[in-house]
Amino acid sequence: MRIFVTACAVAGVLALGTATASAQSSAYCHDQALQIANQYANPVAGAVGGAVVGGVAGGILGKILGPGNKGVGLGIGLGAGTGAVLGGAKAKKTHDAIYRDEFYKCMNQAIPTTVYYDVPPAGSAEWNYFCSLKYKSFQASNGTFQPLPVDGYYPPRRVCVLP
């Protein structure tokens, strides 16, 4: 039982001394990729831009080819509709490509599995605390602990060493 308690104490000290990072979740990566894709390629903005450019181009073409104001209006309408569809489709294609790329990068980025922190200085309050977790017989006054007896023999006290 003492070995089990000692092992748990050592595991606790090691757990306090390290921090593990987990792989990115798909929901997190989805949010990040969507934010970046929306920043660089917004399908709605592409549709609006395409409608404006198509409307201007259609109006000019309608003025040249059509009879009077009726041709200009028809050219603007057709140009704006066509421009909105084409601009939105192009922006959507770009948006999807950016999203897929950013999602893949997020899900496959290398994340360090363990980060090690410095061991507190010997004799400090934090060092005494961790040593008391690691060794039941730890004495903060001299920084030593009593090792477990072997065949009735009690070894001399030893100084606490943290990993």
Number of C-beta neighbours around residue 5 at 10 A: 10
pLDDT digits (tens, 9 = 90+) for 136-155: 999 999 999 998 888 888 89
| Mean pLDDT (the chain, rounded) | 78
Q: Which residue has the tokens 């060493």?
A: 161
Query: Low-confidence residues of the chain, pLDDT below 50?
Result: 5, 17-22
Specify the pLDDT at position 20.
38
Q: What is the pLDDT of residue 24?
A: 67
Query: What is the residue extent of each domain of the chain?
Result: 1-21+116-163, 24-111
pLDDT of residue 125: 93
pTM over 0.75: no
pLDDT of residue 1: 56
Q: How far apart are CA 136 and CA 84, in angstroms?
A: 74
Contact at 8 Å (CB) between 42 and 127?
no
